[in-house]
Structure 1
Amino acid sequence: MEIAEASTTSGQTAQADQQQPQETTTTKTTTPAADQTTTAGAENAEPAAPMSKNALKRLRRAQEWEDGREDRKRRRREKRVAGKARRREERAELLAQGADPAVLFAKRAPARLVPVSLILDCDFEAYMTDKERVSLSSQVTRCYSENRNFKYKAHLWISGWRGKLRERFETAMESQHAHWKGVSLEEGDFLAAAARAREGMRSAEGGEMADSLQRSADAAAANRWERDEREPFPLPGPVPELDAEHADVVYLTSESPYTLERLEPNTSYVIGGLVDKNREKGLCYRRAVERGIRTARLPIGQYMKLRTRQILATNHVVEIMLRWLECEDWAEAFMRVIPKRKGFEMIADGDEDKTGNGGEDGDQGDQGEDGEENKEGGEKNGEEDKEDGKKSGEDKEKNGEDGEKDKEDEEDEEKNKEDGKKNKEDGEQNGEDETKGSNSQDPK
């Protein structure tokens, strides 16, 4: 019995050994066919289009920027350490001179929340280049920083929070937005953000009335919206009527025929997050009118004459609104925020400081505007890439601008990183203070 089983097993093994060479032979015969198919596919494939000079420049700059990431982190860390050491030395010197420690170490009063919402409409990704999207992310960061540092802070919303803008914040900017406080993110459009903002402003934690807003509420009957010029961008067909459901929403756009006189309480002001070098004129205005939303423009022309266009970066508009809440004076807000390089002359009589080159801190928060107005050197559209041979002279002229622009972009990126680190440290410190305060309370 055992011998028969062994013989059967030996027979099966021999049969398997005979079949194995056949399988190997079959594999060898099919391999040349596969190689022939692969070769034929490679021959039929179209050769890759050569990259233009400008595309190579962009690729090279992006690679250089990525290679220097660790070095920038090190420099930012060293800069923070040096800044802390310098501030300690300055405080020690003031104490040695007899300064009052209570005044020297006094904490800044926290910003007071008011029932006003500022919505950054970032739903224009399709209209911007990669460079412009980077600039927009810088402007959004500065908007958050300005809102938390003023005496009064508004409910800050970011609508259209998706796509490449969100991807950039989560990757290149290391998710610094995760540590932000007082900012709400909305994937939907600005109307979805306005609906949620309305609920927040009317809640018990909606904020307290600033003096400027209280005076606006008292004079609400006198604040009439009157057109001051004809329709700047007529729409095809009849203009839609205003949507009563969103009567508390105002879209700020320079093309509006209405002028913003005062900020109103329990109102959402939408600021277009669009950096397009003014290619899409009237885009924000049409977007608002088609949805029945009120529009308004800042009263820049009533107080000053600009040598350049009246288009401001998103962070500049936010800062102007916050300054008005504090000083209730458009002229002062414009003078302190609008960059010096725009150059302006005040229309109303005033001091010599109110004419000429602009006010103090005019270049503060300027990185967003840089991405909007400065020349980008080798940055070109696809159509321009095809004309490199005809534009060699222009390329030569713009090569000098590339280095300057890259340097500005690097400074902007470093500034954003510093703001993000500082915001994170402040948030952690606030959390510790709140914990200490709650622990010190009597449980009885």
Structure 2
Amino acid sequence: MAAEAASSIDSDVNMVDSAQETSVSVAQAANGKRKAETELDEERTLKKSTPSANDEETHSPEDDFPDDQTEAAPDGEKKMTKNQLKKLKRKQAWEARREDRKVKRKDKRHEKQAKKREEKQAILEKAVAEGKDPEEVLRELAHKPVEIERVPVTFVIDCDFEQYMREHEIGSLSAQVVRSYSMNRKSKYQANLAISGFKGALKDIFTGKLSNTHKNWKNVAIEEGSFIEAAKHAYQAMTGLEGGKVIDIIKPESEGNTPSISLDNSFTGKVAPEAEDVDQTIVYLTSDSPYTLERLEANTSYIIGGIVDRNREKGLCYKRALEHKVRHAKLPIGEFMRMQSRFVLTTNQVVEIMAKWLQCGDWAEAFMDVIPKRKGGVLKGQEGEQQEENAQDEDGQEDDGQEEDERKQDGEAQTEGIEEGKAGVKQEDRVQEELKEEA
């Protein structure tokens, strides 16, 4: 029994020793593996930090240059991508034309001054022929108030599209809003102007960069709410005691005028009639509409989509008009003109076209007076007009190439618009004071 117990103890001791040896060997193997891995890492680090003979083969240009640049040139200078070269060329072209733009502005100013001198001279000659004192006529002319007639029509700029625009595009929109106010203020027949969706980045630009100039604007309603709310407030103002004068061309159809909106012939039988619950006092202007705006009508708000997106988004204004159950229509550009580029116009151009129509009652004259010549627009029937197919083929090419130019022009327009807005406020105040004195 003692021998068996001793042998059992010996076997247990041997098993323990064996287990210890196994654990030691495993630990040594693990330590050896970690040591090997550490040495391998050190070797790799050393290879990376030490120049090798085949560096030129393994080295990648992306290690030294950003994604928008190519490999280094032989002289060590960084090459530019095609996009960077285009931007650089546009910038250089813009700078090269700076003096030309100054000369054009100067010539335009001189032309206006010459026209005023001619008008003044004609008035003096007429006064002399009638036996009047020329100096007295000049004094009366100098103190004659500016003739501005308000009409019950409202232009609402819907600026609630910020989520579709980039930062610099919102800046362009702010410049277009300033231009719209400046232009409408100087119109002979002055429509009401409203700005809806005035919030977010656009509001920050006006309160910051533009120094709250909009707070000095006259006859402008600025609201953070939707265009529906702005149109309702505008309707109350237009139908009030100071709503304005209903001139002949904006009188309703019941008084002898033609319908204000008509369905295009190509959509006859394809478009369902307007629903009975459609708001007749609101017209959303959109080029996607099957209806065409024939003329403006009294006590009506015309909504202009305040969006600058280089035509990335499609049908936003049309969808918004359908969602809010309001009338919609497009300007009759295609009926009067052929364009070498798209029919897409800026916000301030649409406002200016409609304001011009209020003065002359002629869409063709309004289009030719407002649409930039660079778009190649010509009246239908005139000599030298381009074929419509060519105009469609060139669609969109111009705007992409002039985006940089338009940004700089927007910056200049903001400065000019601020000054014009301040001058307009002073002028209107002076006119009001003179009218009160006469009364």
TM-score, structure 2 length as denominator?
0.62
Q: Does 1:113 align with 2:150?
A: yes
User: Deviations for 1:185-241, whole angstroms, at most 9, x for unmatched residues?
Assistant: 11111101011011001001000012211375523575563343349x99xxxx896
2: CA distance, partners of 1:166 / 1:290? 26
Aligned 8 A contact 1:123 1:273 in 2: yes
Q: Alpha-carbon deviation of 1:167? A: 0.6
Within the candidate set 402, 419, 424, 1:426 is matched to 424
Aligned to 2:211: 174
2: CA distance, partners of 1:175 / 1:52? 41
Aligned 8 A contact 1:243 1:293 in 2: no
3-state DSSP of counterpart to 1:172: coil
Aligned 8 A contact 2:158 2:304 in 1: yes
3-state DSSP of counterpart to 1:115: strand
2: CA distance, partners of 1:161 / 1:154? 20
- In the alignment, residue 430 of structure 1 is paired with which amino acid? E
Aligned to 1:204: 241
Aligned 8 A contact 2:154 2:192 in 1: yes
2: CA distance, partners of 1:322 / 1:224? 18
User: Deviations for 1:57-90, whole angstroms, at most 9, x for unmatched residues?
Assistant: 99xx9xxxxxxxxxxxxxxxxx9xxx9xx98xx9
Within the candidate set 126, 130, 139, 2:167 is matched to 130
Aligned to 1:373: 399
Within the candidate set 379, 395, 398, 1:346 is matched to 379
Aligned 8 A contact 2:353 2:366 in 1: yes
Aligned 8 A contact 1:242 1:294 in 2: no
Aligned to 2:185: 148
Aligned to 2:414: 416
Aligned 8 A contact 1:115 1:266 in 2: yes
Aligned 8 A contact 2:341 2:376 in 1: yes
Q: Alpha-carbon deviation of 1:440? A: 7.4
Structure 1 residues 429 and 312: CA distance shift in structure 2, 3 A: closer
Q: Does 1:301 align with 2:334?
A: yes
Aligned to 2:195: 158
Aligned to 2:224: 187
TM-score, structure 1 length as denominator?
0.62
Structure 1 residues 170 and 328: CA distance shift in structure 2, 3 A: same
1: CA distance, partners of 2:186 / 2:437? 27
Aligned to 2:365: 332
Structure 1 residues 431 and 206: CA distance shift in structure 2, 3 A: same
Q: How does 1:231-242 map to 2 (within 5 A)?
A: 242=275
2: CA distance, partners of 1:270 / 1:335? 22
2: CA distance, partners of 1:437 / 1:259? 40
2: CA distance, partners of 1:320 / 1:129? 26
Within the candidate set 300, 316, 324, 1:291 is matched to 324
2: CA distance, partners of 1:337 / 1:126? 29
3-state DSSP of counterpart to 1:119: strand
Aligned residues: 316
Structure whose alpha-carbon radius of gyration is higher: 2
Aligned 8 A contact 1:159 1:193 in 2: yes
1: CA distance, partners of 2:369 / 2:284? 23
Q: Alpha-carbon deviation of 1:320? A: 0.8
1: CA distance, partners of 2:285 / 2:409? 29
2: CA distance, partners of 1:224 / 1:410? 37
Q: Does 1:270 align with 2:270?
A: no
Structure 1 residues 437 and 271: CA distance shift in structure 2, 3 A: closer
- In the alignment, residue 317 of structure 2 is paired with which amino acid? C
- In the alignment, residue 251 of structure 1 is paired with which amino acid? Y
Give the gaps of 5 or more residues in structure 1. Answer: 1-49, 62-78, 357-371, 378-401
1: CA distance, partners of 2:260 / 2:430? 45
Aligned 8 A contact 1:212 1:326 in 2: no
Structure 1 residues 373 and 108: CA distance shift in structure 2, 3 A: farther
Structure 1 residues 268 and 224: CA distance shift in structure 2, 3 A: closer
Structure 1 residues 221 and 424: CA distance shift in structure 2, 3 A: closer
2: CA distance, partners of 1:286 / 1:266? 24
Q: Alpha-carbon deviation of 1:424? A: 1.4
- In the alignment, residue 152 of structure 2 is paired with which amino acid? P
Q: Alpha-carbon deviation of 1:107? A: 4.4
3-state DSSP of counterpart to 1:259: strand
Structure 1 residues 226 and 414: CA distance shift in structure 2, 3 A: closer
Q: How does 1:217-232 map to 2 (within 5 A)?
A: 218-219=255-256, 225-230=262-267
2: CA distance, partners of 1:283 / 1:265? 26
Q: Does 1:213 align with 2:255?
A: no
Tell me the percent identity: 41
Structure 1 residues 172 and 240: CA distance shift in structure 2, 3 A: farther
2: CA distance, partners of 1:130 / 1:303? 35
Aligned 8 A contact 2:187 2:355 in 1: yes
2: CA distance, partners of 1:227 / 1:319? 24
Q: Alpha-carbon deviation of 1:176? A: 1.1
Q: Alpha-carbon deviation of 1:413? A: 2.1
